Structure 1
Amino acid sequence: MSIKPKLSRFDLTMIVISLIIGTGIFKSPGEVAIRAGSTPLFFTAWVFGGLITLCGALTFAEIGARYPNTGGFYKLFSYCYHPAFAFMINWIAIISTTASVAAVALIGAEYINPMLLPASLQNETGTKITTIAMVIIVYLINFLGIKMSARAQNLLTLFKIGMIAMLCMAVFKNNAPSQALPVIIQASNPLSSFGLSLVAVFFTYTGYQQTINFGGDIVDAKRNIPKAILMGIAVVIAVYLAVNFAYYQVLGMIGLQQNTALAAKMAAVLFGGVGAKVTSVLMFISVLAYVNVNMMAIPRVYYAMAEDGMLPNIFKRVNPRTQVQEFGMTFLAASILVILFFVSSFSQMLNYSMFFETISLSTAAMAIFILRKRTKHLNNTGIYTIKWYPFVPLLFIIVYWFVTLSIFVANPMGALYCLGAFAAGLLIYYLTKWSKDRKGNPAEINL
């Protein structure tokens, strides 16, 4: 049974926002402040990062309009480059994203546990109990159908945005400290500082590209995907600039650089002693939205890979009534639960996630030049096309290459490990293909 379109433009806009706004905005500003070392560079990184993200969003909006498919991110690489390259990129993305979901779910459990569990369970065991319960609840919600998942996502996203907007109100409190506090200057040249600042900025902005994984779920995809991406990105940029301005006004640069619990500090300014509880709810809702949107998105990648014969056919099975990939989603939930028992061993891999992201996003953006040639028949049919082409995608690609280089210069050994993981993916692809060729009929492989 194939996937049928059921999601509206509003549903997809909420998905875009949730794919981007996770826990990063509550941690990354402090890292950006440390790496930037000065107030002007701090705000320049956030504004510039927002503009480059908009360039990426415009590029992916046209990609989504020209090539709307379920599991579109995988399909895009397969169609424009080669199935081997598509597999190489996506197997790393799936592993790192699944591990990231597990790690972020643990963070959410740590924040909410003081409000849910007795003191005797305020430990690692209690955290894992809450995390497992969270994953199971989200799994059951998604099992009810794609529309139910979307409604839950819409509610969680609107609540999250409202809570962040409330934190920004701290700038109007009279007891906010002076912004003219001393600043810790990062000892490096400005270009290097700027490049490393962008790593943290883009980590906070990334995620929107996964929107094209829902190409087969969207009603009137060629029109609604571009509009949903643009509306979602506009909301995210506005929220990020507002909350960073609020952080700066309330905490000052020194407070940003020395305070890791940024949201808790802001909530304390607004609500005093109950600020910690407000922050706990905010972080838990953010994590819940992040887990939910990935429970929706990742099985769509499984579907695309199964269509290309790189996963068993059972990953393509869709409930005709609910439009849920019941096996694919169950496999993902089980993978998250397994990782929860070993999540600490994934911390270093997650630190390298932006190296994977910058390479995959820049090469995905390059696909627009190939798509323009292969889909000329769509020109002048009313689909979205980028203004100022090819300047917009080129600017996005060049800046992401600059960030990739900055990561490599700062940690060459870690970058080499990442490149080794890519190469391992290529080896796995050809071994899988060889194994299927020996069996003679790869299209009929089932579990």
Structure 2
Amino acid sequence: MSIIPRLNRFDLTMIVISLVIGMGIFANPSEVAVRAGSTWIFFGAWLFGGLVTLCGALTFAEIGARYPHTGGFYKVFSYCYHPAFAFMINWVLVISNAASVAVVAIIGANYINPVLLPPDWQSPLYVQIVAVVSVLILYALAFLGIKVSARTQNLLTLFKVLAILVLCGAVFMHDDTHMIVKGLPNNGNIITALGLSLVPIFFTYGGYQQTINFGGDIIEPKRNIPKAIGVGIGVVIFLYLSINFTYYKVLGLGGLQQTTTLAATMAGVIFGSIGSKIASVLMFVSVLAYINVNVMSNPRVYYAMSEDGILPYIFRKVNPKTQVQEFGVTFFVLCILVVLFFADSFRKMLDYVMFFDTIGLSLAALSIFILRKRTKQLDGTGIYTIKWFPLVPVIFILSYWFVTLNIFWANPGAAFVCLGVFALGLAIYYLSVYLNKGKIPTK
């Protein structure tokens, strides 16, 4: 049973926003402040990151319009390059996305436990229990259907956006006595400070590329994917710049550098203990939205891999009534639950995620040049096309390569490990080809 489109433009816009706004904006500005070392580099990096993200969003909007397929982030590599290369880039998502969701679930449980449970129930065991229960509730909702998951996502996302706007209102209530100590300078040069600051910024802005995984779920994808990505990223950039300005005005650069629980700290400074609890609830809602959208998105990549014959047929089996890949969703949730029991060990692995992302996203964006040649027949049919082509994708690609080089320079060991993981994916692909006796389509 193939996937039938059920999601409209508003659904996809909410998915875009939730794919991007996870826990990063409530913690990563602290890391950016440390790496930037000055106010103007801090805000300059966020502005530049927003510009680059907009360029990436416009690029992926055209990719999604020209090649709307279920599991699109895998499919575009398979179509433009080769299925082997597609698997090499995407296979690590099976592990890293599950690990990312698990760690975020633990963080969310740490925030909500003091609000929900008595003081003597604040052990790591109860944190794990709350995290597991949160994942299982969203897993159960996923089985009710893709449309139910989308409506849940819409509600969680709207609440999260409203809560961020409320937090931003703190900027009108602060006075200079709220400012924490002066910031510590960065000891490196300006270029290095900017490059290293962009690593957590691009991670915080990332996620929107998964939108093209829903190509088969969207009604009128050639029109709705570009518009949803454009509106969604516009909302995200506005919210990110607003809340960073609020962080700075309330906490100062030094306050940003000294705490990673930014929203709760800021709310506590302005509103006291009640404000801190409200912020904790906000964090948990953000976590639920992040878990839910990943449970929706990642199985679609499995669907695309199964279409190419790399994964068994059962991964693309869809319930005709609910449009849910029941086995694919169950597999992804099981991966999350397994990681939850080793969350502390997997935290270090997440340090490598940005290296995977910079390579994967830049190469995916590069495919727009190939797609334009292979889909010339779509020109003039009303589909979205980038106005300032090729400048827009080139800005995005070069910026991500700049960050990749900074990661390699700062942590060459991590870079070599990641390249090794890519190579392992290539080996797994050809092993799968051998085991399937050459049934996988070739280019």
Query: 1:23-38 residue pairs with structure 2 within 5 A?
Result: 23-38=23-38
Shift of 1:151: 0.4
Q: Which runs of 4+ in 1 moved over 4 A?
A: 178-181, 440-443
Does structure 2 retain, via aligned residues, the 8 Å contact 1:176–1:269?
Answer: no
Shift of 1:181: 5.5
TM-score (norm 1): 0.97
| Alignment match, 1:417 | 417
| Alignment match, 1:351 | 351
The letter of the residue matching 1:341 is F
The percent of aligned pairs where both chains have the same amino acid is 65
| Alignment match, 1:156 | 156
Shift of 1:269: 3.1
Q: 1:96–1:174: structure 2 CA closer, same or farther, 3 Å change rule?
A: closer
Does structure 1 retain, via aligned residues, the 8 Å contact 2:65–2:222?
Answer: yes
2: CA distance between counterparts of 1:412 and 1:442?
35
Unaligned runs of 5+ in 1: none
Does structure 1 retain, via aligned residues, the 8 Å contact 2:95–2:335?
Answer: no
The letter of the residue matching 2:233 is I
2: CA distance between counterparts of 1:283 and 1:178?
22
Aligned pairs, how many?
Answer: 441
Shift of 1:257: 1.1
Does structure 2 retain, via aligned residues, the 8 Å contact 1:70–1:214?
Answer: yes
The root-mean-square deviation of aligned C-alpha atoms, in Å, is 1.3
2: CA distance between counterparts of 1:441 and 1:427?
17
TM-score (norm 2): 0.98
Shift of 1:441: 5.5
Summarize deviations over 1:287-323 as a string: whole Å, max 9, x none.
0000000000001001000000010000111111111
1: CA distance between counterparts of 2:52 and 2:236?
13
Query: 1:87-106 residue pairs with structure 2 within 5 A?
Result: 87-106=87-106
Unaligned runs of 5+ in 2: none
The letter of the residue matching 1:171 is V
For residue 436 of structure 2, give the secondary structure of its aligned residue in structure 1: helix
Answer with 252-261 or 410-419: which moved more.
252-261
Summarize deviations over 1:46-89 as a string: whole Å, max 9, x none.
00000000000000000000000000000000000111110011
1: CA distance between counterparts of 2:138 and 2:407?
35
Does structure 2 retain, via aligned residues, the 8 Å contact 1:170–1:269?
Answer: no
Does structure 1 retain, via aligned residues, the 8 Å contact 2:180–2:254?
Answer: no
The letter of the residue matching 1:432 is S
The letter of the residue matching 1:199 is V
1: CA distance between counterparts of 2:422 and 2:360?
11
Answer with 32-41 or 177-186: which moved more.
177-186
1: CA distance between counterparts of 2:82 and 2:143?
33
Q: Does 1:83 align with 2:83?
A: yes
Does structure 1 retain, via aligned residues, the 8 Å contact 2:433–2:439?
Answer: no
Query: 1:330-369 residue pairs with structure 2 within 5 A?
Result: 330-369=330-369
Q: 1:124–1:322: structure 2 CA closer, same or farther, 3 Å change rule?
A: same
2: CA distance between counterparts of 1:242 and 1:370?
37
1: CA distance between counterparts of 2:290 and 2:165?
18
| Alignment match, 1:373 | 373
Shift of 1:121: 2.4
Q: 1:181–1:388: structure 2 CA closer, same or farther, 3 Å change rule?
A: same
Q: 1:180–1:299: structure 2 CA closer, same or farther, 3 Å change rule?
A: closer
| Alignment match, 1:427 | 427
Does structure 1 retain, via aligned residues, the 8 Å contact 2:308–2:440?
Answer: no
Shift of 1:176: 4.7
2: CA distance between counterparts of 1:174 and 1:425?
51
| Alignment match, 1:46 | 46
| Alignment match, 1:69 | 69
Q: 1:304–1:259: structure 2 CA closer, same or farther, 3 Å change rule?
A: same
2: CA distance between counterparts of 1:233 and 1:71?
20
Query: 1:390-405 residue pairs with structure 2 within 5 A?
Result: 390-405=390-405
Query: 1:294-309 residue pairs with structure 2 within 5 A?
Result: 294-309=294-309
| Alignment match, 2:2 | 2
